[in-house]
Amino acid sequence: MIKIRKAIPEDAAALLAIYAPYVESTAITFEYDVPTVEEFRRRIVDICDRYPYLVAEDETGRPIGYAYANAFKERAAYQWSVETSLYVDKKYHRQGIGRCLHDELEAALRQQGILNMNACISYIDPEDEYLSQDSVRFHSRLGYKQVAHFHQCGRKFGRWYDMIWMEKMIGEHL
């Protein structure tokens, strides 16, 4: 049984512990260096000022995943669109936690009047030891459609990776 709640700055160390392995051993994020706890706390505070930032906890109250939305672009005309991010502790993959986090995030964004959810996903074909296509498959199952494919735009672990943008419309554009 998992519980989803709003993130607080005091979650920084626990959420960073989930994120750090993605930085250190995957191309899922193009960040090279693991941020400090202070930097991660600042990121949480900055995002929570404007958008939902959610934490999934296991039955003991330990964070096992998180999801948040952030500005798609800073200009006012983009205010109805967000970029989403979602990370689950690797020990809890394929247990529905990502889906629960995403569903709660989508509901919160709908309440906020957001119309477009955008996901920026690193991509390589064929898959390698640093990156699978799981994120693309996950987002496709959630109703996202691919809207862009940028080739060899990110470099990590001595190799080039593509970037795919996927989009999900969650509101009516009147």
pLDDT 10s digits, 118-164: 999 999 999 999 999 999 999 999 999 999 999 999 999 999 999 99
Please measure the distance between the N-terminal and C-terminal CA atoms of the chain and give it in whole angstroms.
39
Alpha-carbon Rg of the chain, whole angstroms?
A: 16
Task: Tell whether 54 is covered by a domain.
Answer: yes
Element (H, E) at 88: strand 81-88
Between CA 158 and CA 103 the distance in angstroms is 35
Phi then psi for residue 6, to 5 deg, are -75, 145
Q: What is the pTM of this model?
A: 0.95
CATH classification at residue 58: 3.40.630.30
Residue 79 in any domain: the answer is: yes
What is the identity of the amino acid at 91?
Answer: K
Q: What is the spatial distance between Cα 25 and Cα 131, in angstroms, rounded to a whole number?
A: 9
* CA-angle at 28, arms to 43 and 45, nearest 5°: 10
Kindly report the average pLDDT of the chain as a whole number.
Answer: 97
**Cα separation of 64 and 102, whole Å?**
14
What is the per-residue pLDDT across 60-93, written as a single tens digit (0 to 9) for each? 999 999 999 999 999 999 999 999 999 999 999 9
10: in domain: yes
**Spatial distance between the Cα atoms of 67 and 7, rounded to a whole number of angstroms:** 9
Domain count across the chain: 1
- The answer to whether residue 174 sits within a structural domain is no
Q: Is residue 161 a contact partner of residue 154, using CB atoms and an 8 Å limit?
A: yes
By the 10 Å C-beta count (0-12 exposed, 13-18 middle, 19+ buried), 13 is classed as exposed
Range of the domain at 44: 3-169
